[in-house]
Structures are given as structure tokens and as C-alpha cells.
């Protein structure tokens, strides 16, 4: 493979790292090798909930952590609108059926309602939830348990629940998204180091 430039954020709230990979492992196409480090990805599926047998062709890779659900911080970010939800609470069947207090109801339902009003492309990049299906036609949460007889590959529900990262593989102006269960940085093995392009220079 030609050199692949990558911008990877390994943990929430961490600064992204700029890395350059020169090849992939002969044993694992999802293990990218650089001069001094390796990054191994554990793919779950693409944005259509299809299995991804090998990495998409790309010249640039961007990876960052994602979380499932809705950001609870929306309640603090929009306190006036959160307070206005009291009217919805008063009319909801949940109050009668489950005897929910206002605070419990707000914590359970408030983030979703505020998400509908204040979601942004940036929030969509970092939060995965069923409402994303409405915006980008993603089928990740319209899960294959209902169509396992289909000829298309399917992904188990527990695998979907294990998504921790999003990887965007860019090729020119186009990109393909792959969701990951893990993104692990590690040292090169002795054999990988021996075959890296800079090995001879380091040995001098």
C-alpha cells in the first residue's frame, strides 16, 4: 500500500495523533504499520450494518471514539428548554404507567427531545442512536435480527452494542465509514520492525 496518513483519537477528550502508515500486517489486514508503531483495528460493520472483510481503499484515515445514546449534557446546555418539557411530562402516559418523577422522566427522555432540536453534524459524528437513521440513512440501528434470512451479511446485535470507534476512510472527495469495536496502538513486533522501511537507517 502507498503511505496512508491517519488522524486518530484513541480516547475521549484526548488530542488526535497524526500517524503515517507504510504497510499492513501480512497476518491481519486491519493492523497498520508505521515506522515505530502499529495500530490494530477491530471492525464491526459499515454504516449499513454490513460486515467489512477488509479495509476500504483510502489515502487518508480518520478515527475517533463514539458513544451510544444521547448526550446528557444537553439538559445543562439548554436549561430553559429542559424546563419547558415539564408540560410534556404532565401529559405523558409514563407518569401514570411507571409513576416516574419529573427528574427521572427528564433524565430518561429529555436528552432525546433536546437532541431533536439541537443536533448538529458534529454531534452526529460522536453520538450513535436510532435517530441517526432518519438523517443519514444509516442502518446500523435497524438491525439485522429481523432479516437474517437475507443474502446480505448481517451483524449480531451484541456486536453493534460493542461499537466504540468510528473510522472514516477517505479516497479523494469520497469516504466510507467503518465502525470499530477497538482501536489499539502498540509497538511493532521484532519481525515488523525488521521489515520497516527505516530499519537499516536505525541500525547504523
Taking every pair of C-alpha atoms in the chain, what is the biggest distance, in angstroms? Answer: 77
Higher pLDDT, 201 or 24: 24
Residue 16, beta-bridge partner list: none
Q: How far apart are CA 138 and CA 16, in angstroms?
A: 26
Is the per-residue pLDDT at 204 higher than 50?
no
133-190 pLDDT tens trace:
444 445 565 554 544 555 555 667 677 778 999 999 999 999 999 999 999 999 999 8
| Position 21 confidence tier, pLDDT thresholds 50, 70, 90 | very high
- Contact (CB, 8 A) for 193 and 199: yes
Of the candidates 8, 52, 44, 3, which has an alpha carbon nearest to the alpha carbon of residue 24?
3
143 phi-psi bin (left φ>0, alpha ψ -120 to 50, beta other): beta
Global confidence as pTM: 0.80
Amino acid at each position: 500500500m502507498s503511505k496512508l496518513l491517519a488522524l486518530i483519537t484513541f480516547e475521549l477528550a484526548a488530542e488526535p495523533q497524526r500517524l503515517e502508515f507504510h504497510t499492513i500486517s501480512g497476518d491481519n489486514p486491519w493492523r497498520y504499520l508505521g515506522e515505530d508503531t502499529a495500530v490494530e483495528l477491530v471492525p464491526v460493520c459499515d454504516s449499513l450494518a454490513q460486515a467489512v472483510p477488509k479495509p476500504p481503499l483510502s489515502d487518508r484515515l480518520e478515527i475517533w471514539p463514539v458513544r451510544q445514546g444521547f448526550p446528557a449534557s444537553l439538559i445543562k446546555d439548554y436549561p430553559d428548554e429542559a424546563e419547558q418539557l415539564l408540560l410534556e411530562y404532565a401529559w405523558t402516559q409514563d407518569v401514570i404507567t411507571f409513576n416516574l418523577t419529573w427528574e427521572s422522566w427528564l433524565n430518561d427522555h429529555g436528552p432525546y427531545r433536546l437532541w431533536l432540536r439541537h443536533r448538529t453534524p458534529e454531534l452526529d459524528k460522536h453520538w450513535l442512536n436510532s435517530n441517526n437513521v432518519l438523517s443519514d440513512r444509516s442502518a446500523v440501528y435497524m438491525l439485522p435480527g429481523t432479516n437474517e434470512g437475507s443474502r446480505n451479511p448481517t451483524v449480531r446485535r451484541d456486536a453493534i452494542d460493542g461499537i466504540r470507534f468510528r473510522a472514516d476512510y477517505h479516497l479523494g472527495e469520497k469516504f466510507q465509514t467503518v465502525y470499530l469495536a477497538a482501536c489499539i496502538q502498540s509497538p511493532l513486533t521484532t519481525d515488523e520492525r525488521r521489515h520497516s522501511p527505516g530499519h537499516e537507517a536505525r541500525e547504523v
